[in-house]
Structure 1
Amino acid sequence: MTWDVLSIIGTIAFAVSGAIVALEEEYDILGIYILGIVTAFGGGAIRNLLIGVPVSALWEQGLLFQIALFAITIVFLFPAGLLKQWRKWGNFFDAIGLAAFAIQGALFATNMEHPLSATIVAAVLTGSGGGIIRDLLAGRKPLVLRSEIYGVWAILAGLAVGLGFASSPFELYSLFIIIVVLRVLSFTYNWKLPHKPMKPSRSFLHF
């Protein structure tokens, strides 16, 4: 039950996120549907390739495809005036998708009895893979590669599931809320990971 709920939440959130990005980039209706579907299912496809699940398993998720198509259609039909306000929620939907799919990917790996390292990789790829493909197709720098904290929360989800800290439905839903809150806080307050700029400072150039 928990698995199904997380799958539905993640699918809707990432489908909406992809559709919003496509609208921001002024894609046509076909581009909106393609970007929404790729965002919703791209991470799962990459995960399946790396942990040994046939990619064809994606085509067995007919209900999730229908849910994604319905969510994208709602975004497309949403009144333009209200949609401008709704676009501000793009990062929030992305946070929901990240949390839901990261936990789902970690559960997938643990159910297959993979080691902790594989569980973390599955969490990161499932949680951020669709977003990476979305951003690349939209000509944007992928969120997970920016200095803004993103992939760390997927790693945290993988650790919690892989180490057995989150296994019951209550613990998994609590972890989901925690990851969403942390991701929202990270982009709200512009938290950043340490990074080393390669460009010389202006003061050095004028020395």
Structure 2
Amino acid sequence: MWEILNMIGTIAFALSGVLVAMEERYDLMGIYILGFITAFGGGAIRNLLIGVPVEELWNQGPLFIAAFFVMTAAFFVPRILQWTLLRRGIFFDAIGLGAFSTQGAIYAYSMGLPLSAAIAAAALTGTGGGMVRDVLAGRKPLFLQQEIYIAWTLVPGIVVGLGWVTADIGLLFIVAAVVVLRLLSVQYSWRLPNRMLPPVSEEKYDGS
């Protein structure tokens, strides 16, 4: 299951990076850079957080190769991206969010770390790559958008972190739930409550 989620998340986020790069009219090298950062940035941030050696990232040769071929195919056959039917790579990003947030939670739980670490690992693995992608592309990061985004990573963070679900079929269900919830939050503009400070009235100082 770990390898399956890793492959799903890597391919989905790589395509998400390609889509954003094409929208910003990047050249081929820019597409590769943005795609690789999107696909592997979250895992690198997670490893730093929970104490896994950073060089573990370079032991994922097959994933780098898979991401390279997927990005190359998407560049030369852009119709691959046209079936997403959603703006700004939301579809691929939702799949990556579900797969990588669940994978991050599994990673923390398998290391015997507390619930807080599982929640943080799920959030950073699921959103870290997309965050770096959006910053490099000069966009407002998706997790800061109005629709609910990073909050959905609490689902695998809590459920997996507490050990409630460990079977493969249950983990796949969690991934699917995060993807569906993310897409629904975009479709119906679901938002978390927010509050703004009242404007400060500017009164002229009369010296008295």
> Cα deviations across residues 142-189 of structure 1 (Å, max 9, x unaligned)?
111222100011111101101122210011011111111101101111
Determine the structure 2 residue equivalent to 1:16. 15
Determine if contact 2:74/2:81 at 8 Å carries over to the other structure. Answer: no
Structure 2 residue ranges without an equivalent (≥5): 202-208
CA distance in 2, matches of 1:68, 1:83: 14
Q: Which has the higher helix share?
A: 1
Amino acid corresponding to residue 130 of structure 1 in structure 2? G
Amino acid corresponding to residue 57 of structure 2 in structure 1? L
Determine the structure 1 residue equivalent to 2:177. 178
- What does 1:46-195 correspond to in 2, within 5 Å? 46-79=45-78, 82=79, 85-86=82-83, 88-89=85-86, 90-195=89-194
Shift of 1:86: 4.1
- Pair 1:77–1:166, CA change in 2 (3 A): same
Amino acid corresponding to residue 125 of structure 2 in structure 1? T
> Cα deviations across residues 14-62 of structure 1 (Å, max 9, x unaligned)?
0000000000000111100000000000000000001000111000000
When Rg is computed on C-alpha atoms for both structures, the one with the higher figure is 2
Amino acid corresponding to residue 95 of structure 2 in structure 1? I
Determine if contact 1:20/1:87 at 8 Å carries over to the other structure. Answer: no
Determine if contact 2:84/2:91 at 8 Å carries over to the other structure. Answer: no
CA distance in 2, matches of 1:189, 1:165: 30
Shift of 1:114: 0.5
- Pair 1:199–1:191, CA change in 2 (3 A): same
Amino acid corresponding to residue 45 of structure 1 in structure 2? A
Structure 1 residue ranges without an equivalent (≥5): none
CA distance in 2, matches of 1:18, 1:40: 8
Q: Any runs of at least 4 consecutive aligned residues in structure 1 with deviations exceeding 6 A, and if so which? A: none
Shift of 1:141: 0.6
- Pair 1:198–1:135, CA change in 2 (3 A): farther
Determine if contact 1:147/1:195 at 8 Å carries over to the other structure. Answer: no
Shift of 1:94: 0.5
RMSD, aligned CA: 1.7
- Pair 1:74–1:84, CA change in 2 (3 A): closer
CA distance in 2, matches of 1:76, 1:33: 10
Determine if contact 2:101/2:121 at 8 Å carries over to the other structure. Answer: yes
TM-score (norm 2): 0.91
Identity %: 57
TM-score (norm 1): 0.91
